[in-house]
Every structure is written in structure tokens, then in C-alpha cells.
Amino acid sequence: MKRIIVTGASGFVAGSVICQAGPEWEVHAFSQKPAPFQREGLIWHQHGPLAELLQPGELERRFREIQPDAVIHIAAIPDIDYCEQHPDVADEVNVNYTIALAEMCRQQKVRMVFTSTDTVFDGNKGHYAETDPPAPVNHYGHTKLRAERAVADRLEDFCIARLAIVMGLRFYGQGNSFLCRLRDTLESGREASVPAEEIRSPVDVVTAGRALLELAGNTFQGIIHLAGNDRLSRLDFSRMIAGRLGYPPERVVAATAADIPGRARRPRDASLDNSTARSALKTPMRGLLDGLELVLSTERMKDER
Ligand SMILES: NC(=O)c1ccc[n+]([C@@H]2O[C@H](COP(=O)([O-])OP(=O)(O)OC[C@H]3O[C@@H](n4cnc5c(N)ncnc54)[C@H](OP(=O)(O)O)[C@@H]3O)[C@@H](O)[C@H]2O)c1
């Protein structure tokens, strides 16, 4: 059995990683929240505020105790508008936590998989390959790019997995799922307004979780884009999802960014080229509707248990 640390364990993407980790993994979940459930092979380490965890010696003590084979660092503040308004908090969580973990991984020769984002790109080109130069347009993107560089500068055995917008239902907890928000809005009979001009390549949360586990266990080095096979506007994919969930697609209406008060700048076309993932990983990358079927079938399996 190999030991893995998963940070930000109560979040949306981490939920998929933790729930899908097979018996080959002993999972050490780092979270500020209490364990949502218990399972063999899952050891939940509830920690205090980040400032406490980053005190000298604190992470080192935990690493020495656990002796991990790999770390999947998922914890972050992914709320783009919050990061823009609270740059110091965003720096602490998104950059300083990553630096501290990368430093531990360097000292103790542990493989690190870091979850980054399509928002490191400026969105002028679209269909970005791993070799395209990043140029963030908001503070969140800057924090994730600085964190990427901190990982790449310190480590030899690392993978930076840039996630496209992640589509799916939560395995547990209250994490950041746009699909849950969209479904709740439509279920309540309201219209959902979605920016029409932004193009993305959504990856489903089940596939993202499987790919991150595969990357923790393999020897892939460097940057990899975890994205779906389709490039679509947020309006189009939200309407496709609404239709599949049984709601009238026209209840999803077009908004422009200017209509949304306090919204930080976003890249226009941040779609990612997923050809590296399709060739390097056993986990198949999927199109939007195929990914949605996988998400819904996973939800049905949970309901039946
Ligand atoms: N969702 C997307 O569409 C998307 C797209 C691209 C990239 N990503 C990246 O994927 C990762 C996961 O995103 P997500 O959507 O799963 O977000 P999420 O549901 O908000 O989960 C992030 C987790 O980070 C931890 N965290 C937040 N603030 C913290 C703080 N002040 N101190 C310590 N830990 C803190 C929390 O975990 P605990 O409560 O367990 O401590 C939180 O649940 C992030 O690195 C994000 O940048 C996400």
C-alpha cells in the first residue's frame, strides 16, 4: 500500500480523489474540517488555520509521521472574485501553502502533484498546449502561476495538472461545484445567467479525480492539461447540461461580464488542448455529455449504496 497526502480534503475536486482512491492507496486527508465519513485506508488529519499549519516544524512533523509516497496538493481559494478582493489571503493559501509543501517534498524526496488551472492563460488564443506561455489576467491566475513556478523550481519529481473548469456533483461537503449551483437555480424555477463570451473545455470531476490519482502513482513529469474533449462557450455547455437534466435549455440566459457586479476579469477563451493527457494517461478524457453521464452514473451508484 502506498501513502498519499491529499490537501483541501473537504473540497469538490479532493472529494473525487479521496472517494475514488483504490485499495492500493492509504489516503491521508489534510483538512480544516472534520471527517465527513470513515473508511478503511482513509486517515483524516484535521488541522487548524493555515497560519498554524505553516508554523516552523509543523508540516515536517506530519510528513515524518506519515512518510508519504506522494502528495496531491488541491487546497486553494478558487473563487476568482474573492482572490481579486483579498489578494493577501489568496497569496497565503494559493502560494505560501504550495511553497511550504514543495519544500517538504524536496527535503523528503516525495512526488508532488499540484492542481493548477486554465486561468493561468490570458484567453486571447484558446486551445492552449502545455508549452504555451501563461499570462494571467487576474490575481487568482497570478497566484496559481507563482505556485506552479515554486513547484517546478524546487522539485525534480513533480506534476503540474492544470484543470479546466470542473463539471460535476459533489461526492460530499459543500465544495465549489458550478453544476450544483446551476441545478439548484433551475430546480428553484429561476433563470441561470451565464457569461456567453467565455470559452472553456470542461472536464468532469470523476475523470479529474481518476487522472490525479493516476498521476500520483505514475512517473509523468512536468505540466499536463486535464480538460475535456469539447471547446464550448459557458452558455452552450450550461444549456446542454440543463437539457440533459430535464430543464428547458432556454432557462439558461446569456449574461455579459459587465452585468455581474464585482466580477474580476476572466480569460475569454481559456480552453486547453488535452492531447498530452490523451496520450500519456490511461484515464480517458471525455466530451461534455459523456462526462456528464459518468457524473450522473456515479451519483446513482452512491444513492444505491
Ligand atoms: N473547480 C474548478 O472548476 C477548478 C478549475 C481549475 C482549477 N481548479 C483547482 O482545483 C483545486 C480544487 O478546487 P475546488 O473546486 O475543489 O475548490 P474547493 O471546493 O473550494 O476546495 C478547495 C479546498 O481548499 C481548502 N482551503 C480553502 N481555503 C483554505 C485556507 N484558508 N486554508 C487552508 N485550506 C483552504 C479547503 O479545504 P478544507 O476545508 O478541507 O481545509 C477547500 O475545501 C484548486 O487548487 C483550484 O485552483 C479548480
CATH code assigned at 151: 3.40.50.720
Residue 161 CA to ligand 1 centre (angstroms): 14
Q: What is the pLDDT of residue 257?
A: 76
Residue 303 CB contacts under 8 Å (≥ 6 apart), including other chains: none
Q: What is the pLDDT of residue 243?
A: 97
Q: Which of 44, 77, 91, 120 to mutate to test the pocket of ligand 1 (most atoms within 8 A of CB)?
A: 77
Q: What is the pLDDT of residue 302?
A: 74
- In this prediction the pTM is 0.98
Using the atom order of ligand 1, give the atom closest to the CA of residue 176.
19
251, part of any domain? no
Residue 97 CA to ligand 1 centre (angstroms): 12
Q: What is the pLDDT of residue 260?
A: 79
244, part of any domain? no
Q: How many domains are contained in the chain?
A: 1
Q: What is the pLDDT of residue 303?
A: 67
Beta bridge partners of 25: 2
* Ligand 1 pocket, Cβ-based, cut-off 6 angstroms: 8-14, 31-33, 50, 74-78, 93, 115, 117, 144, 163, 165-166, 175-176
- For residue 188, give the DSSP letter: T
207 sits in the region (left: phi over 0; alpha: psi -120 to 50; else beta) called: alpha
Residue 250 CA to ligand 1 centre (angstroms): 31
Residue 239 CB contacts under 8 Å (≥ 6 apart), including other chains: 249, 250, 252
78, part of any domain? yes
Taking the alpha carbons at both ends of the chain, their separation in whole angstroms is 25
Q: What is the pLDDT of residue 158?
A: 98
Q: Other C-beta atoms within 10 Å of 67: how many?
A: 10
239, part of any domain? no
Domain that holds residue 95: 2-177+201-231+273-304
Using the atom order of ligand 1, give the atom closest to the CA of residue 9.
40
Residues of the chain with pLDDT under 70: 303-305
8, part of any domain? yes
Residue 175 CA to ligand 1 centre (angstroms): 7
Nearest to 71 by CA among 32, 121, 124, 109: 109
188, part of any domain? no
Q: How far apart are CA 206 and CA 196, in angstroms?
A: 26
268, part of any domain? no
19, part of any domain? yes
Q: What is the pLDDT of residue 190?
A: 95
Q: What is the pLDDT of residue 304?
A: 65
Look at the block and give the residue holding cell 483538512. 31
From residue 95, give the alpha-carbon distance in Å to each of 75, 87, 151.
Answer: 10, 11, 10
